[in-house]
Homo-oligomer: A and B are copies of this chain.
Amino acid sequence: MSPATGHVLGVDSGGSGIRVALRPVPGSGPDLTWSSSAPVAVGERGVDARGLLGQVLPAARSLLARAGAQRCEAVCVGAAGMVSLGADLRAVLPSALREALGVRRLALASDAVTAYAGTLGQRPGAVVAAGTGLIAVGTDLTAEGGWRRADGWGHLLGDCGSGAWIGRAGLEAAMRAYDGRAGGSPALLERLREVFGPPPELPAALYPRSDRPAVLASFAPEVSRCAPGDPVAADILRRAARHIAEAAAAVCPAAGPGPGRGATPAATGRQAGLADPADEVYGAGGACDVAVTGGLLRLGTPLLAPLREELQLQLPHARPVAAAGEPLDGALCVAEALLTDSLLLPADPPMLHIVC
Protein backbone atom coordinates (compact mmCIF):
# COMPACT_ATOMS: atom_id res chain seq x y z
CA MET A 1 0.00 0.00 0.00
CA SER A 2 1.34 3.43 -0.94
CA PRO A 3 1.91 5.70 2.07
CA ALA A 4 -0.28 8.35 0.43
CA THR A 5 -3.46 6.28 0.48
CA GLY A 6 -5.48 4.78 3.30
CA HIS A 7 -7.79 5.95 6.06
CA VAL A 8 -7.03 8.96 8.28
CA LEU A 9 -8.64 9.67 11.65
CA GLY A 10 -9.40 13.06 13.15
CA VAL A 11 -10.14 13.52 16.85
CA ASP A 12 -11.50 16.67 18.50
CA SER A 13 -11.54 16.59 22.32
CA GLY A 14 -13.07 19.66 23.95
CA GLY A 15 -14.66 20.84 27.18
CA SER A 16 -18.07 19.59 26.07
CA GLY A 17 -17.21 16.18 24.59
CA ILE A 18 -15.29 14.23 21.97
CA ARG A 19 -15.81 13.89 18.22
CA VAL A 20 -14.11 11.42 15.91
CA ALA A 21 -14.14 11.18 12.11
CA LEU A 22 -12.69 8.71 9.62
CA ARG A 23 -11.82 9.73 6.05
CA PRO A 24 -10.59 7.61 3.12
CA VAL A 25 -7.67 9.16 1.19
CA PRO A 26 -8.02 9.82 -1.65
CA GLY A 27 -11.56 10.82 -0.72
CA SER A 28 -14.68 9.08 -1.93
CA GLY A 29 -17.93 9.61 -0.07
CA PRO A 30 -18.62 11.45 3.19
CA ASP A 31 -16.49 11.13 6.32
CA LEU A 32 -17.79 8.70 8.93
CA THR A 33 -18.27 10.43 12.29
CA TRP A 34 -18.92 9.60 15.94
CA SER A 35 -19.48 11.89 18.88
CA SER A 36 -19.89 11.80 22.66
CA SER A 37 -21.01 14.52 25.06
CA ALA A 38 -18.72 13.26 27.85
CA PRO A 39 -15.60 15.46 28.11
CA VAL A 40 -12.30 13.86 29.07
CA ALA A 41 -11.47 14.37 32.75
CA VAL A 42 -8.53 16.47 33.92
CA GLY A 43 -6.67 14.66 36.68
CA GLU A 44 -3.37 14.98 38.46
CA ARG A 45 -1.48 14.18 35.26
CA GLY A 46 -3.49 16.68 33.22
CA VAL A 47 -5.89 15.62 30.48
CA ASP A 48 -6.44 11.92 31.12
CA ALA A 49 -5.08 9.88 28.19
CA ARG A 50 -6.77 6.61 29.27
CA GLY A 51 -10.10 8.44 29.50
CA LEU A 52 -9.64 9.78 25.98
CA LEU A 53 -8.59 6.40 24.61
CA GLY A 54 -11.53 4.77 26.39
CA GLN A 55 -13.83 6.73 24.10
CA VAL A 56 -11.69 7.13 20.96
CA LEU A 57 -10.52 3.53 20.43
CA PRO A 58 -13.97 1.90 20.41
CA ALA A 59 -15.24 4.76 18.23
CA ALA A 60 -12.35 4.36 15.77
CA ARG A 61 -12.80 0.58 15.60
CA SER A 62 -16.49 1.02 14.94
CA LEU A 63 -15.85 3.58 12.17
CA LEU A 64 -13.14 1.37 10.61
CA ALA A 65 -15.57 -1.56 10.62
CA ARG A 66 -18.24 0.56 8.93
CA ALA A 67 -15.67 1.58 6.31
CA GLY A 68 -14.51 -2.00 5.86
CA ALA A 69 -10.95 -0.93 6.76
CA GLN A 70 -8.36 -2.54 9.03
CA ARG A 71 -6.21 0.37 10.21
CA CYS A 72 -5.71 4.14 10.38
CA GLU A 73 -2.62 5.25 8.46
CA ALA A 74 -2.52 8.74 10.00
CA VAL A 75 -4.19 10.36 13.00
CA CYS A 76 -4.42 13.90 14.28
CA VAL A 77 -5.66 14.34 17.85
CA GLY A 78 -6.69 17.91 18.62
CA ALA A 79 -7.38 18.39 22.32
CA ALA A 80 -8.31 21.23 24.64
CA GLY A 81 -5.50 21.44 27.20
CA MET A 82 -2.91 19.87 24.87
CA VAL A 83 -0.46 22.73 25.44
CA SER A 84 -0.62 23.08 29.21
CA LEU A 85 -2.14 19.81 30.37
CA GLY A 86 -1.05 17.44 27.60
CA ALA A 87 1.86 15.57 29.25
CA ASP A 88 -0.18 12.39 29.75
CA LEU A 89 -1.50 12.53 26.18
CA ARG A 90 2.05 12.90 24.79
CA ALA A 91 3.30 10.03 26.95
CA VAL A 92 0.51 7.55 26.29
CA LEU A 93 -1.11 8.20 22.90
CA PRO A 94 1.73 7.39 20.45
CA SER A 95 2.27 3.77 21.42
CA ALA A 96 -1.39 3.18 22.30
CA LEU A 97 -2.63 4.39 18.91
CA ARG A 98 0.09 2.49 17.04
CA GLU A 99 -0.76 -0.73 18.82
CA ALA A 100 -4.55 -0.41 18.76
CA LEU A 101 -5.12 1.09 15.31
CA GLY A 102 -1.89 0.46 13.40
CA VAL A 103 -1.21 4.21 13.15
CA ARG A 104 2.00 5.12 11.23
CA ARG A 105 1.84 8.91 11.33
CA LEU A 106 0.53 10.90 14.28
CA ALA A 107 0.07 14.57 15.09
CA LEU A 108 -0.88 15.86 18.54
CA ALA A 109 -2.33 19.33 18.32
CA SER A 110 -3.84 22.00 20.46
CA ASP A 111 -7.55 22.20 19.73
CA ALA A 112 -6.73 25.73 18.68
CA VAL A 113 -4.53 24.43 15.85
CA THR A 114 -7.23 22.05 14.64
CA ALA A 115 -9.74 24.90 14.87
CA TYR A 116 -7.32 26.99 12.82
CA ALA A 117 -6.90 24.31 10.17
CA GLY A 118 -10.64 23.72 10.09
CA THR A 119 -11.25 27.41 9.53
CA LEU A 120 -8.38 28.78 7.41
CA GLY A 121 -6.96 25.49 6.15
CA GLN A 122 -3.23 25.92 5.48
CA ARG A 123 -3.35 29.72 4.88
CA PRO A 124 -1.62 32.31 7.18
CA GLY A 125 -3.81 34.25 9.59
CA ALA A 126 -5.34 34.24 13.07
CA VAL A 127 -8.18 32.17 14.50
CA VAL A 128 -9.96 32.43 17.82
CA ALA A 129 -11.43 29.09 18.86
CA ALA A 130 -14.20 29.89 21.30
CA GLY A 131 -16.44 27.39 23.00
CA THR A 132 -16.42 26.36 26.64
CA GLY A 133 -12.86 27.74 26.65
CA LEU A 134 -11.11 30.23 24.39
CA ILE A 135 -7.73 30.30 22.70
CA ALA A 136 -6.36 32.34 19.82
CA VAL A 137 -3.61 31.15 17.49
CA GLY A 138 -1.93 32.72 14.52
CA THR A 139 0.82 31.81 12.12
CA ASP A 140 2.60 33.29 9.10
CA LEU A 141 3.41 29.67 8.07
CA THR A 142 7.15 30.21 8.55
CA ALA A 143 9.10 27.77 10.68
CA GLU A 144 10.70 30.71 12.53
CA GLY A 145 7.35 32.34 13.23
CA GLY A 146 5.82 29.07 14.31
CA TRP A 147 2.53 29.43 16.16
CA ARG A 148 1.57 32.44 18.21
CA ARG A 149 -0.89 31.78 20.93
CA ALA A 150 -2.96 33.93 23.28
CA ASP A 151 -5.12 32.85 26.20
CA GLY A 152 -6.40 29.30 26.45
CA TRP A 153 -5.27 29.39 30.09
CA GLY A 154 -8.49 27.89 31.44
CA HIS A 155 -11.45 29.30 33.30
CA LEU A 156 -9.50 30.51 36.35
CA LEU A 157 -6.54 32.14 34.59
CA GLY A 158 -8.19 33.39 31.41
CA ASP A 159 -10.36 31.97 28.63
CA CYS A 160 -11.65 35.53 28.66
CA GLY A 161 -14.81 35.89 26.60
CA SER A 162 -15.40 32.12 26.40
CA GLY A 163 -18.62 30.29 27.16
CA ALA A 164 -17.40 29.54 30.69
CA TRP A 165 -16.42 33.21 31.12
CA ILE A 166 -19.82 34.47 29.91
CA GLY A 167 -21.74 31.90 31.94
CA ARG A 168 -19.70 32.61 35.07
CA ALA A 169 -20.25 36.35 34.71
CA GLY A 170 -23.97 35.74 34.20
CA LEU A 171 -24.24 33.56 37.30
CA GLU A 172 -22.32 36.13 39.34
CA ALA A 173 -24.76 38.84 38.20
CA ALA A 174 -27.67 36.56 39.17
CA MET A 175 -26.26 35.95 42.65
CA ARG A 176 -25.69 39.69 43.04
CA ALA A 177 -29.39 40.23 42.38
CA TYR A 178 -30.24 37.50 44.88
CA ASP A 179 -28.09 39.19 47.55
CA GLY A 180 -29.25 42.71 46.73
CA ARG A 181 -25.69 43.69 45.80
CA ALA A 182 -24.85 46.25 43.13
CA GLY A 183 -24.48 44.97 39.58
CA GLY A 184 -27.19 42.33 39.87
CA SER A 185 -29.54 41.22 37.12
CA PRO A 186 -33.05 40.13 38.16
CA ALA A 187 -33.53 38.67 34.67
CA LEU A 188 -30.45 36.44 35.00
CA LEU A 189 -31.54 35.47 38.53
CA GLU A 190 -34.85 34.33 37.06
CA ARG A 191 -32.98 32.24 34.48
CA LEU A 192 -30.68 30.79 37.16
CA ARG A 193 -33.72 29.64 39.18
CA GLU A 194 -35.23 28.11 36.04
CA VAL A 195 -32.05 26.26 35.02
CA PHE A 196 -30.41 25.34 38.33
CA GLY A 197 -33.12 25.70 41.00
CA PRO A 198 -32.81 27.60 44.29
CA PRO A 199 -29.78 29.95 44.13
CA PRO A 200 -28.32 28.99 47.54
CA GLU A 201 -28.03 25.39 46.34
CA LEU A 202 -25.97 26.26 43.26
CA PRO A 203 -22.54 26.15 44.94
CA ALA A 204 -23.17 22.61 46.20
CA ALA A 205 -24.26 21.61 42.70
CA LEU A 206 -21.31 23.25 40.94
CA TYR A 207 -18.11 22.94 42.98
CA PRO A 208 -17.96 19.16 43.46
CA ARG A 209 -18.26 18.54 39.71
CA SER A 210 -15.21 17.83 37.59
CA ASP A 211 -16.72 19.57 34.55
CA ARG A 212 -17.19 22.97 36.21
CA PRO A 213 -16.24 24.96 33.06
CA ALA A 214 -18.93 23.12 31.07
CA VAL A 215 -21.50 23.82 33.80
CA LEU A 216 -20.59 27.51 33.73
CA ALA A 217 -20.70 27.57 29.93
CA SER A 218 -24.15 25.97 29.96
CA PHE A 219 -25.47 29.29 31.31
CA ALA A 220 -23.99 31.39 28.47
CA PRO A 221 -27.05 30.93 26.20
CA GLU A 222 -29.21 32.36 29.02
CA VAL A 223 -27.03 35.47 29.08
CA SER A 224 -27.47 35.82 25.34
CA ARG A 225 -31.23 35.29 25.65
CA CYS A 226 -31.50 38.03 28.30
CA ALA A 227 -29.20 40.54 26.58
CA PRO A 228 -31.76 42.28 24.32
CA GLY A 229 -33.76 43.48 27.35
CA ASP A 230 -31.18 43.40 30.14
CA PRO A 231 -28.31 45.90 30.30
CA VAL A 232 -26.25 43.71 32.70
CA ALA A 233 -26.40 40.73 30.32
CA ALA A 234 -25.68 42.96 27.32
CA ASP A 235 -22.64 44.41 29.12
CA ILE A 236 -21.32 40.90 29.80
CA LEU A 237 -21.48 40.07 26.08
CA ARG A 238 -19.90 43.42 25.15
CA ARG A 239 -16.99 42.69 27.50
CA ALA A 240 -16.72 39.15 26.12
CA ALA A 241 -16.54 40.54 22.58
CA ARG A 242 -13.76 42.92 23.68
CA HIS A 243 -11.78 40.04 25.21
CA ILE A 244 -12.21 37.88 22.10
CA ALA A 245 -10.89 40.67 19.89
CA GLU A 246 -7.99 41.29 22.30
CA ALA A 247 -6.93 37.66 21.91
CA ALA A 248 -7.18 37.88 18.11
CA ALA A 249 -5.15 41.12 18.06
CA ALA A 250 -2.38 39.52 20.12
CA VAL A 251 -1.76 36.68 17.64
CA CYS A 252 -2.52 38.30 14.29
CA PRO A 253 0.75 38.03 12.26
CA ALA A 254 0.42 41.67 11.16
CA ALA A 255 0.53 42.82 14.78
CA GLY A 256 4.14 41.77 15.34
CA PRO A 257 5.45 39.57 18.14
CA GLY A 258 3.87 39.97 21.56
CA PRO A 259 5.87 41.00 24.64
CA GLY A 260 5.80 37.45 25.95
CA ARG A 261 8.11 36.56 23.10
CA GLY A 262 10.58 39.37 23.46
CA ALA A 263 9.11 42.55 22.00
CA THR A 264 6.55 44.99 23.38
CA PRO A 265 3.69 46.10 21.12
CA ALA A 266 5.05 49.66 21.30
CA ALA A 267 8.32 48.44 19.78
CA THR A 268 6.69 47.02 16.64
CA GLY A 269 6.55 49.02 13.46
CA ARG A 270 2.77 49.13 13.36
CA GLN A 271 2.32 51.07 16.56
CA ALA A 272 5.37 53.27 16.01
CA GLY A 273 4.22 54.37 12.54
CA LEU A 274 7.16 52.65 10.81
CA ALA A 275 6.97 50.08 8.02
CA ASP A 276 4.21 47.61 8.80
CA PRO A 277 5.71 44.13 9.43
CA ALA A 278 2.63 42.70 7.75
CA ASP A 279 3.94 44.04 4.48
CA GLU A 280 6.73 41.47 4.58
CA VAL A 281 4.24 38.63 4.89
CA TYR A 282 1.37 39.78 2.72
CA GLY A 283 2.86 42.56 0.58
CA ALA A 284 2.02 46.25 1.05
CA GLY A 285 -1.69 46.70 1.79
CA GLY A 286 -2.08 43.00 2.58
CA ALA A 287 -4.27 41.99 5.46
CA CYS A 288 -4.34 39.16 7.94
CA ASP A 289 -7.25 36.71 7.69
CA VAL A 290 -9.01 36.65 11.06
CA ALA A 291 -11.79 34.28 12.04
CA VAL A 292 -13.67 33.42 15.19
CA THR A 293 -14.93 29.87 15.25
CA GLY A 294 -16.45 27.36 17.64
CA GLY A 295 -19.63 26.74 19.53
CA LEU A 296 -19.69 30.22 21.05
CA LEU A 297 -20.95 31.60 17.73
CA ARG A 298 -24.25 29.88 18.48
CA LEU A 299 -24.95 32.66 21.00
CA GLY A 300 -25.98 34.65 17.93
CA THR A 301 -26.47 38.36 17.37
CA PRO A 302 -26.25 39.51 21.02
CA LEU A 303 -22.59 38.42 20.92
CA LEU A 304 -21.84 38.66 17.20
CA ALA A 305 -22.90 42.29 16.81
CA PRO A 306 -20.50 43.67 19.46
CA LEU A 307 -17.86 41.17 18.29
CA ARG A 308 -17.97 42.58 14.76
CA GLU A 309 -17.51 46.09 16.19
CA GLU A 310 -14.63 45.08 18.46
CA LEU A 311 -12.77 43.25 15.67
CA GLN A 312 -13.10 46.33 13.46
CA LEU A 313 -11.90 48.53 16.34
CA GLN A 314 -8.96 46.43 17.49
CA LEU A 315 -7.88 44.88 14.16
CA PRO A 316 -8.70 47.53 11.57
CA HIS A 317 -6.21 46.00 9.11
CA ALA A 318 -7.52 42.46 9.41
CA ARG A 319 -9.89 40.77 6.98
CA PRO A 320 -12.64 38.94 8.86
CA VAL A 321 -13.53 35.69 7.13
CA ALA A 322 -16.44 33.36 7.61
CA ALA A 323 -15.56 30.36 9.77
CA ALA A 324 -15.26 27.66 7.11
CA GLY A 325 -15.14 24.59 9.27
CA GLU A 326 -14.89 22.79 12.55
CA PRO A 327 -11.91 21.60 14.63
CA LEU A 328 -12.82 18.06 13.58
CA ASP A 329 -12.36 19.09 9.92
CA GLY A 330 -9.03 20.64 10.90
CA ALA A 331 -7.90 17.41 12.56
CA LEU A 332 -8.81 15.52 9.38
CA CYS A 333 -7.02 18.17 7.29
CA VAL A 334 -3.80 17.75 9.32
CA ALA A 335 -4.04 13.94 9.30
CA GLU A 336 -4.56 13.94 5.53
CA ALA A 337 -1.60 16.33 5.03
CA LEU A 338 0.53 14.00 7.16
CA LEU A 339 -0.41 11.05 4.99
CA THR A 340 0.21 12.90 1.72
CA ASP A 341 3.36 14.73 2.87
CA SER A 342 1.73 18.10 2.19
CA LEU A 343 1.75 19.76 5.62
CA LEU A 344 2.30 23.54 5.37
CA LEU A 345 1.28 24.46 8.93
CA PRO A 346 4.42 24.78 11.07
CA ALA A 347 5.37 21.95 13.41
CA ASP A 348 5.93 23.77 16.70
CA PRO A 349 5.40 21.58 19.78
CA PRO A 350 3.37 21.56 21.92
CA MET A 351 1.00 23.53 19.65
CA LEU A 352 1.50 21.07 16.79
CA HIS A 353 3.67 18.08 17.58
CA ILE A 354 4.40 15.72 14.68
CA VAL A 355 5.14 12.49 16.55
CA CYS A 356 5.94 10.34 13.50
Contact = CB atoms under 8 A, between A and B. Distances in A.
Interface string A148-168: 011101111110100000001
A172 B158 contact: yes
B85 A203 contact: yes
A202 interface: yes
Contacts of A85: 203-204, 207
Residue in A85, A189, A258 with the greatest tally of chain B CB atoms within 10 Å: A258
A43 B209 CA distance: 9
Given A156-B216, A208-B44, A149 B202 contact: no
Q: How many copies does the complex hold?
A: 2
Contacts of A177: 259-260
A212 interface: yes
A130 to B, nearest CB: 14
Interface in A112-146: none
A201 B84 CA distance: 6
A203 B260 contact: no
Interface residues of A, number: 57
A14 to B, nearest CB: 15
Interface string A177-220: 11111111010010000000001111110111000100010000
A164 B220 CA distance: 23
A175 interface: yes
A212 B260 contact: no
A42 interface: yes
A337 interface: no
A324 to B, nearest CB: 25
Contacts of A46: 204, 208
A225 to B, nearest CB: 19
A151 B179 contact: yes
24 contacts: A42-B208, A43-B208, A81-B203, A83-B200, A84-B200, A84-B201, A85-B203, A150-B181, A151-B175, A153-B175, A156-B171, A157-B203, A157-B206, A177-B260, A179-B250, A179-B258, A180-B257, A180-B260, A180-B261, A181-B246, A182-B249, A184-B259, A189-B260, A199-B260
